[in-house]
Amino acid sequence: MQAHEVLFQLFDHGVLHFDGSDLDCIKLTPMTQEHANLIRDLADAGIGFDCRDARDHHLDFTSQILQAHIGNDIIFELEEETAKDVVGTIFSDFPSFIANTQRQCREPSKYCILGEKYSTDGEATGLVAHYKNVISLIQLLSSIADFDSDDDESSHDKSLTYLHRSKLTMSISYGEDELQEQLDGLSIVKEIFTDEQHQEQKKSIAKEVLVSLLVNIPDNKKFKYLLQNFNVFSVRFNENYQLYVSEFSFDEVRSEFEERKREYFVKINDVFTSVQGKLLGVPISIAAASVKVTTITGNQSFAYFIGFAILTYAILLWLIIKNQKHTLSALKSEYESLMGRLKRQFPDQYSEIEGLQVELQKRYNYQRYCLKIFSFMCIALVVLALYMFIGELLLAYVIKYLYQI
Residue 314 has pLDDT above 90, yes or no: no
Q: Which pLDDT band, with edges at 50, 70 and 90, does 297 fall under?
A: very low
For the segment 328-363, what is each residue's pLDDT rounded down to a tens digit?
777 777 777 777 766 766 666 667 667 777 887 888
For the segment 85-123, what is each residue's pLDDT rounded down to a tens digit?
999 999 999 999 998 888 999 999 999 999 999 998 888
Whole-model pTM: value is 0.61
Mean predicted confidence (pLDDT) in 367-378: 80
Q: Which pLDDT band, with edges at 50, 70 and 90, does 390 fall under?
A: low
**CA–CA separation, 358 vs 364, rounded Å?**
10
Mean predicted confidence (pLDDT) in 187-201: 87
In this prediction, residue 349 carries a pLDDT of 62
In this prediction, residue 242 carries a pLDDT of 81
Q: Which pLDDT band, with edges at 50, 70 and 90, does 69 fall under?
A: confident
Residue 226 has pLDDT above 90, yes or no: yes
Domain boundaries, the chain: 3-98, 126-228, 249-404
Average pLDDT, the chain: 79
